[in-house]
Structure 1
Amino acid sequence: MADYRGLGFDPAPGDAGAVAAASARCRHLVELPAPPAGWEGAAADAFAARLAGLRDDLETARRTLGTAAGTLDDWAGTVLANQRRAEELDRRARSLRGAAEDADNDVVQASFRGGPDHVAATARLEELRRELDGVLAAARDLEADHRSAARRVADRLRHLLSGGTEAVPSRDELFGGVVQALTSYSALGSQLSGVLLTPARASSAPPGAAAAFVSALGDR
């Protein structure tokens, strides 16, 4: 976790690498088995028909998760860009805090002399404080933008994984008969879409890609 001592807070929490890892898991391909060679009869026909339906479900799931992966990739890029901006602001804030501390000492020393020296030292200190206030305001704006972007990603994933409905569906509703083939996704349909802005908790963190995404976003 970045140490923003100049700003005093983290304007862009998150772990872009963990988000990218979650995206990679969404792109993992799951293949269905083919009917055994030489199997014939009514049971074989029923099995083949069932596999055909599962393939349709699987293709739908792949498209959904592929779109989710693209959304996660975009968010990872946003996290990186916002963190670079936060680091720039933090460096500026540290520099200004150091300069302001020196200027404050100059004001104290100049107070013994009075006159123009004291006026100039005081003006310099006030200027530095205004600049620092501006940097802190920019960091707060960045934090607000970062959180707004996270909420938009959350809404996009919820809408995507719920098929556009208000309620987030269960795994069975989302993936139908192919749920067992997608167990490695760790309930992405119901959990990943619901935990985007939820703080990670060691005792109840969802597994797999969902857990990675919770960690990637940092505490909210």
Structure 2
Amino acid sequence: MTDYRGLGFDPVPGNAGAVAAASERCAVAFTVPGAPPDGWTGAAAEGFGARWEAAVSELTAVRRAMRAAAEVLDGWATTLLGNQRRAEELDRRALAVRRALADAADEVDRTAAMASFTAADGEAHRRAVARHDELRRQLDDVLEEARLLERDHRAEARRVAERLRAEEPSTAIADTLTGLSSLTAELASVLLGPPRQASTRGAAAAFRAGLG
């Protein structure tokens, strides 16, 4: 996790590696049960055939949902990496300005002690104050950019969460991602929100079993 000492906060919480790992788990391949053997007839054959068709239908839906989720997560991992690179750039700028600001504050203090001696000293103090104020504005601008980045990051995370929940069976996706220990708590809360109660039947159960 990056320590954003210049910004003083993390505007882009998340772990791209964990998201990519979740995407890989969603891309797991399913083996569809084989069709009933030719020549098998009777009530047992009919019952098996009906169950086989239902299983194939469910597994097909689950596989489609998992692949869709993997695509969404791949996109989020890419966005997350881009946002983190931007945050690191802003943090470097903020650190540089903070160092310059500390030096400027020292200069303000130094020139203040001499400002009453000569006109030149007074002018030096005014320049020092102006320099300090300008650096303060620069830092405020960088921090505002970081806050806007955080706003956009969280908005995109919410959109990703909605896209995941729109897939069938979305509850299993959300529960699985929330349970990945490598995802930070912040990312889990921003991206997924409180997990919903997962179904234990049908496609949702098969999906959960596939993620294993």
The TM tier, using the shorter chain, reads 0.7 to 0.9
Equivalent position of 2:6 in the other structure: 6
Contact 1:13–1:218, Cα closer than 8 Å, also in 2: no
Q: 2:173 aligns with which of 183, 189, 192?
A: 192
Partner-residue secondary structure (3-state), 2:180: helix
Q: Of the two, which has the highest radius of gyration?
A: 2
Contact 1:35–1:44, Cα closer than 8 Å, also in 2: no
Q: Does 1:132 align with 2:139?
A: yes
CA distance in 1, matches of 2:52, 2:181: 32
CA distance in 2, matches of 1:209, 1:129: 41
CA distance in 1, matches of 2:25, 2:164: 15
1:64 counterpart letter in structure 2: A
- Where does 1:22-171 land on structure 2 (aligned, <5 Å)? 22-34=22-34, 40-42=40-42, 43-114=44-115, 115-161=122-168
CA distance in 2, matches of 1:87, 1:66: 32
2:7 counterpart letter in structure 1: L
1:146 counterpart letter in structure 2: H
- Where does 1:166-181 land on structure 2 (aligned, <5 Å)? 174=169
CA distance in 2, matches of 1:218, 1:13: 9
2:60 counterpart letter in structure 1: E
Contact 1:93–1:136, Cα closer than 8 Å, also in 2: yes
Q: 1:212 aligns with which of 176, 180, 183?
A: 180
Partner-residue secondary structure (3-state), 1:11: coil
TM-score if structure 1 supplies the norm length?
0.75
Task: Please give the per-residue CA displacement for 1:159-180, whole angstroms capped at 9, x wherever unaligned.
Answer: 223xxxxxxxxxxxx4xxxxxx
Deviation at 1:190, TM superposition (A): 1.6
Decide whether aligned partners of structure 1 residues 142 and 93 sit closer, same or farther in structure 2, where only a CA change above 3 A counts. Answer: same
Q: Percent identity?
A: 48
CA distance in 2, matches of 1:56, 1:219: 33
TM-score if structure 2 supplies the norm length?
0.78
Two-structure CA RMSD over aligned residues (Å): 2.2
Contact 1:22–1:213, Cα closer than 8 Å, also in 2: no
Partner-residue secondary structure (3-state), 1:190: helix
Contact 2:33–2:56, Cα closer than 8 Å, also in 1: no
Uncovered stretches (5+) of structure 1, i.e. residues with no partner = 162-173, 175-188, 194-205
Decide whether aligned partners of structure 1 residues 67 and 219 sit closer, same or farther in structure 2, where only a CA change above 3 A counts. Answer: closer
Contact 2:69–2:164, Cα closer than 8 Å, also in 1: yes
Deviation at 1:99, TM superposition (A): 0.5
Contact 1:21–1:209, Cα closer than 8 Å, also in 2: no
CA distance in 1, matches of 2:10, 2:50: 54
CA distance in 1, matches of 2:15, 2:102: 33
Equivalent position of 1:168 in the other structure: none
Contact 1:68–1:160, Cα closer than 8 Å, also in 2: yes
Task: Please give the per-residue CA displacement for 1:171-201, whole angstroms capped at 9, x wherever unaligned.
Answer: xxx4xxxxxxxxxxxxxx32433xxxxxxxx
- Structure 1 residue runs of 4 or more that deviate by more than 3 Å after TM superposition: 35-39
Partner-residue secondary structure (3-state), 2:171: coil
